[in-house]
Amino acid sequence: MTLYLHIGRGKSGSSTIQSLATTHVDYMERAGFSCPLSVKGLPNHGRLAAALNAIDSDRATIRKFRKDLAQAASRNVFVSAEALHSLKRDGIARLRRFTRDRDVQILFYVRDYPSWIPSMYAQPTKHGRNLQDIDSFVRGGRRNLSVVARLDRWAEAFGWEAMRIRPLDASILVGGTLIADLLHALGVAEPPPEVARENESPHWMTLEIVRALAIAATTSAIGSVGPRSLKGIVRLCEACMDPATPRRTPYLTRAQWLDAAELYRRDMEALGQRVGMMFPVALPEPPEREFLPDFDAVPRDVCATILDRLDDPRFSSPIDSAASILLRDLLSTKSPRQAPTRKRGLLALGLSMLSRAGVARKRTV
């Protein structure tokens, strides 16, 4: 039986694909597939990639992966992890040894680079892990833009005949959609289920508010905003966005876009030659970027709306007091309404931190 390995690319529909192993597990079982979960019960086998790269770091994950394959000896197996795309040669060689008794098919989806870059920027930004603006982000990530070298490593171990590569282009995807194409690759004839899109990027204004908040936190008493508070802040900001305003804005300059588009064209032509296909490479050119997307570009009335709802229990409950004070202080710098001054906001933040420290000391006594 066949092991189907979906290895990415990240921010190219991977979360949506992985939902097949959880939300639609009955459908996959009827189609004859085993979709094992990770040690942590997740459909994303990112830990497997890390364990393959450093075999002594997580032997439990390796043991479970090999056990899952053995228990599904008479069934096809589907495993997905976008982190597998970045495996080193030694890690790929280990995986090849572990799967030598099975036919292996490698599935990979490529998103055009000009649209992939803003999506990759959004992922760490919404989690408070990126402090760079898009221009700095583009400069720092240019060397990791191409997918060809990493796919070449996989082909060295498994052969190009085992590689199924497709661009996220409706004109070449079977059925015109990602899920329909994936199921076709798996040999599933049953009509595809309704699969909701997962892990979509927030509104660009939400991203820039979160990034500005993360920057402010680095110079504050809290240092960083916790994941639960960030999730609540993203939800609050999204609820305050006017549906009439575009959720997306051009993040790339024309020069950045042209550079990424040209590299994408060259890469897809090279990959097409390797797998014996001709991939579409023409991309519609966007308008020139009119402004750098950052907090300064967020309208004052949007900041005021968020401030008005910050104390609404529907949104405020997951946001801790320190993060709430910091967000209020940040938004107040742009709000047309009278709001606490930065000095007052920082004083309140300091008092909040002292209060939390006092509670912590009492618990340890």
Q: What is the pTM of this model?
A: 0.88
Say if domain 2-116+145-186 classifies as CATH 1.10.3470.
no
| Confidence check: pLDDT of 346 > 90 | no
| Confidence check: pLDDT of 338 > 50 | no
pLDDT tier for residue 357 given thresholds of 50, 70 and 90: very low
Share of the chain above pLDDT 90, in %: 82
For residue 145, with 0-12 CB atoms within 10 Å meaning exposed, 13-18 middle and 19 or more buried, which class applies?
middle
**Residue type present at position 151:** L
Closest CA to 128 of 279, 273, 319: 319
What's the token pair of residue 35? 């979709």
| Confidence check: pLDDT of 308 > 70 | yes
What's the token pair of residue 113? 């680079």
- CATH 3.40.50 residue ranges of the chain are 2-116+145-186
